[in-house]
């Protein structure tokens, strides 16, 4: 076991990402939904061969004013010049902080470096807004982004919602996928933690919405935030919860290695294969087969967590309570997140 790590943060949100298999350099074809336009021209005398256009009935609008949760995540830009992450990459515990290329780690991807996330709910939708590092004005958000829902709060995810190459032009179903773990094997024998032996599980195997679209053409949507060009927003109908109002949410960003079939990654790779972005773990450093990937701790939605929920983020201070970082935390270990006019600080001292 390595020495104890400290993570940190706080809460919330979802996001999702999509998985369409391409890397983040090649433009993705719209594989998900279907914002097809119908052009009726005079030259189409018959209507027999035309596919039925998708008619969207319910489209998300603006996010609700008040979030249900907030999460922060490590900022790898601060150590990117050293080809390492500052902290937050703990393969054994299912936590990743590796917005870098494999093996050399000499390319840092700000568009994959989650800084924080917010989660929102209303009667129809669940929304995640995922915020990325904005230190490079030239990049585009062309990865896969999304969120994972653990419905029964056992540490194993149940739903995974992803958007690939989110649209700059408003809500779109293009590139959006909704995955479900029908046989409940995500997480393997020991949820959240690496299993002792490789899993034979099939991860998220059921594509409920995406290339082979299901019954509801409006089930899930993605876009780049109209207010923040460094934030991705993902929405899915809350009907997928089938009435369950208490669950855990974690956020993901990645490229090819963010493969729904390989959840949980730490049951499908060994630590040696996956590597680590933390130079302190010299036996495993650098990242190898599992790269260009970031995720967060999980926030509790719809219930008051006890602190023992699998993957739970450090709990935020209660109203009127000093944030933990103010209680003797050295300044270099104090990390604060800005969410609108709300500032939440945590101590990440090891
Ligand atoms: Ca992370
Ligand atoms: Ca990060
Ligand atoms: Ca496991
Ligand atoms: Ca499965």
Report whether 249 contacts 119 (CB < 8 A): yes
DSSP 245-280: --EEEEEEEESTT--GGG-SHHHHS-HHHHB-S-TT
Report whether 166 contacts 154 (CB < 8 A): no
From the CA of 97, which ligand is nearest?
1
Q: Which residues, chain by chain, have CB under 5 Å from ion ligand 4?
A: 181, 183, 185, 202, 205
From the CA of 94, which ligand is nearest?
3
Whole-number average pLDDT of the chain: 82
The alpha carbon of 204 and the centre of ligand 4 are apart by a number of angstroms equal to 5
Model confidence over 96-152: pLDDT tens digits?
Answer: 999 999 999 999 999 999 999 999 999 999 999 999 988 766 668 999 999 999 999
Look up the pTM and report it.
0.79
Report whether 348 contacts 335 (CB < 8 A): yes
Q: What is the pLDDT of residue 54?
A: 81
Residue 94 reports pLDDT greater than 70: yes
Model confidence over 165-174: pLDDT tens digits?
Answer: 999 999 999 9
Point out which residues pair with 336 in neighbouring strands. 345
The alpha carbon of 125 and the centre of ligand 3 are apart by a number of angstroms equal to 30
Model confidence over 228-263: pLDDT tens digits?
Answer: 999 999 999 999 999 999 999 999 999 999 999 999
C-alpha–C-alpha distance, residues 70 and 114, integer Å: 13
Percentage, residues of the chain above pLDDT 70: 73
> Residue 42: CA atoms inside 13 Å, Cβ hemisphere, count?
0
Model confidence over 189-229: pLDDT tens digits?
Answer: 999 999 888 778 999 999 999 965 668 999 999 999 999 99
The alpha carbon of 178 and the centre of ligand 4 are apart by a number of angstroms equal to 14
Residue 35 reports pLDDT greater than 70: no
The alpha carbon of 218 and the centre of ligand 3 are apart by a number of angstroms equal to 33
The alpha carbon of 265 and the centre of ligand 4 are apart by a number of angstroms equal to 13
The alpha carbon of 345 and the centre of ligand 4 are apart by a number of angstroms equal to 37
Q: For residue 143, what is the DSSP state?
A: S
Strands 231-237 and 220-224, sheet pairing = antiparallel
Domain extent listing, the chain: 69-347
Mean pLDDT within 46-59: 75
Contacts of 301 (CB under 8 A, 6+ apart): 12, 68, 69, 119, 121, 246, 247, 248, 249
C-alpha–C-alpha distance, residues 94 and 218, integer Å: 31
Percentage, residues of the chain above pLDDT 90: 64
189 against 335, higher pLDDT:
189
Q: What is the pLDDT of residue 314?
A: 77
């Amino acid at each position: 076991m390595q020495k104890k790590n400290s993570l940190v943060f706080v809460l919330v949100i979802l996001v999702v990402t999509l998985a369409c298999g391409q890397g983040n350099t090649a433009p993705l074809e719209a594989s998900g939904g279907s914002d097809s336009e119908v052009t009726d021209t005079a030259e189409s005398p018959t209507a027999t061969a035309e596919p039925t256009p998708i008619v969207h009935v319910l489209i998300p609008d603006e996010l609700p004013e008040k979030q249900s949760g907030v999460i922060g995540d490590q900022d790898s830009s601060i150590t990117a010049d050293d080809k390492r992450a500052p902290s937050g990459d703990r393969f054994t515990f299912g936590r990743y902080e590796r917005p870098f290329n494999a093996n050399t780690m000499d390319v840092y991807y700000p568009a994959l470096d989650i800084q924080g996330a917010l989660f929102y709910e209303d009667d129809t939708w669940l929304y995640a807004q995922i915020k990325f590092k904005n230190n490079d004005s030239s990049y585009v958000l062309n990865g896969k982004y999304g969120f994972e829902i653990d419905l029964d709060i056992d540490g194993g995810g149940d739903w995974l919602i992803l958007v690939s190459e989110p649209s700059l032009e408003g809500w779109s179903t293009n590139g959006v996928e909704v995955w479900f773990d029908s046989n409940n094997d995500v997480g393997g024998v020991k949820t959240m933690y690496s299993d002792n032996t490789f899993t034979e599980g099939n991860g998220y195997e059921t594509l409920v919405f995406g290339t082979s679209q299901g019954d509801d053409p409006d089930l899930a949507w993605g876009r780049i935030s109209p207010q923040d060009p460094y934030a991705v927003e993902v929405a899915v109908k809350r009907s997928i919860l089938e009435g369950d109002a208490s669950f855990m949410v974690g956020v993901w960003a990645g490229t090819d290695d963010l493969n729904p079939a390989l959840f949980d990654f730490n049951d499908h790779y060994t630590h040696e294969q996956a590597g680590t972005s933390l130079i302190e773990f010299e036996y495993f450093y650098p990242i190898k087969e599992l790269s260009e990937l970031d995720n967060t701790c999980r926030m509790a939605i719809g219930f008051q967590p006890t602190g023992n929920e699998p993957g739970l983020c450090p709990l935020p201070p209660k109203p009127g309570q000093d944030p933990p970082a103010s209680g003797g935390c050295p300044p270099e270990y104090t990390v604060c997140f800005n969410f609108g006019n709300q500032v939440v600080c945590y101590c990440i001292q090891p």
